[in-house]
Amino acid sequence: MGMASSILSFLLVSALCLLSSPAPAVAQNLPPIVNGLSFTFYKSSCPKLESIVKDFLKKQFEKDIGLAAGLLRIHFHDCFVQGCDGSVLLDGSASGPSEQDAPPNLTLRPAAFQAINDLRALIDGQCGRVVSCADVVALAARDSVVLSGGPNYKVPLGRRDGVTFATRNATLASLPAPTFNVTQILPVLSRISLDADDLVALSGGHTIGRGHCSSFSNRLFPSRDPTMDQTFFNNLRIPARLPTPTRRRRWTSAARTCSTTSTMWI
Ligand code: HEM
Q: Is 263 in the pocket of ligand 1 (CB under 6 A)?
A: no
| Region 38-67 average pLDDT | 97
pLDDT of 6: 41
Say how many C-beta atoms besides its own lie within 10 A of residue 243's C-beta.
Answer: 7
Q: Which of 116, 112, 115, 125 is nearest to 46 (CA)?
A: 125
Q: How many CB atoms lie within 10 A of CB 181?
A: 9
Q: Is the pLDDT of residue 265 over 80?
A: no
Out of 14, 73, 213, give the residue to mutate to test ligand 1, the one with the largest number of ligand atoms within 8 Å of its CB. Answer: 73
Question: 147 pLDDT exceeds 70?
Answer: yes
The predicted model gives 144-165 an average pLDDT of 95
Q: What is the CA radius of gyration of the chain?
A: 19
CA–CA gap between residue 192 and residue 60 (Å, rounded)? 33
Give, using CA atoms, the residue closest to atom 10 of ligand 1.
178
**Closest C-alpha among 9, 47, 49 to residue 204:** 9
SS3 235: helix
> In ligand 1, which atom is closest to the CA atom of 176?
5
> Which letter does DSSP use for residue 89 in this model?
G
Classify 221 as helix, strand or coil.
coil
CA distance 95 to 218: 35
Is the CB of residue 232 below 6 angstroms from any atom belonging to ligand 1?
Answer: no
Task: Tell me how far apart the alpha carbons of residues 185 and 129 are, in angstroms, rounded to a whole number.
Answer: 37
The closest-lying atom of ligand 1 relative to the alpha carbon of residue 212 is 15
CA 12 to ligand 1 centroid distance, Å: 14
CB 55 within 8 Å of CB 47: no
* Strand partners for 207: none
Is the pLDDT score of 264 beyond 70?
A: no
In this structure, are residues 23 and 38 in contact, taking their beta carbons and an 8 Å threshold? Answer: no
From ligand 1's centre to the CA of 202, what distance in Å? Answer: 10
Q: Would you call 73 helix, strand, or coil by DSSP?
A: helix
Per residue in 194-208, pLDDT (tens digit) is 999 999 999 999 999
Q: Is 77 a catalytic residue?
A: yes
Q: Rounded to the nearest whole angstrom, what is the distance from the C-alpha of residue 210 to the centroid of ligand 1? A: 8
With CA atoms as reference, report the closest residue to 111 among 147, 61, 145, 50: 61
5 pLDDT more than 50:
no
* pLDDT score, position 191: 93
CA–centroid distance, 158 to ligand 1, in Å, is: 25
The reply to whether ligand 1 has any atom less than 6 angstroms from the CB of 72 is yes
Q: 119 and 49 in contact (C-beta within 8 Å)?
A: no
Instruction: Give the per-residue pLDDT at 217.
Output: 79
Q: 169: part of which helix (H) or strand (E)?
A: helix 168-174
Determine if ligand 1 sits within 6 Å of the CB of residue 210.
Answer: yes
Residue 178: HSE in the Cβ half-sphere, 13 Å Cα cutoff? 15
Q: Is the CB of 151 under 6 A from ligand 1?
A: no
For the ranges 9-18, 68-77, 184-193, which has the lowest average pLDDT? 9-18
At 30, the pLDDT band (50, 70, 90 cuts) reads: confident
Question: Average per-residue pLDDT in the chain?
Answer: 83
Please answer whether residues 150 and 8 qualify as being in contact, where contact means their C-beta atoms are separated by less than 8 angstroms.
yes
Ligand 1 lined by 247 (C-beta under 6 Å): no
- Beta carbons within 10 angstroms of residue 126's beta carbon: 12
pLDDT digit string, tens, across residues 206-255: 999 988 877 887 888 778 899 999 988 877 765 544 455 554 444 443 44
- CA torsion through residues 257, 259, 260, 263, sign: negative
Cβ pair 23, 162 in contact under 8 A: no
Percentage of the chain modeled with pLDDT above 70: 77
C-beta of 192 in contact with ligand 1 (< 6 A): no
Q: What is the pLDDT of residues 62-75, one digit of tens each?
A: 999 999 999 999 99
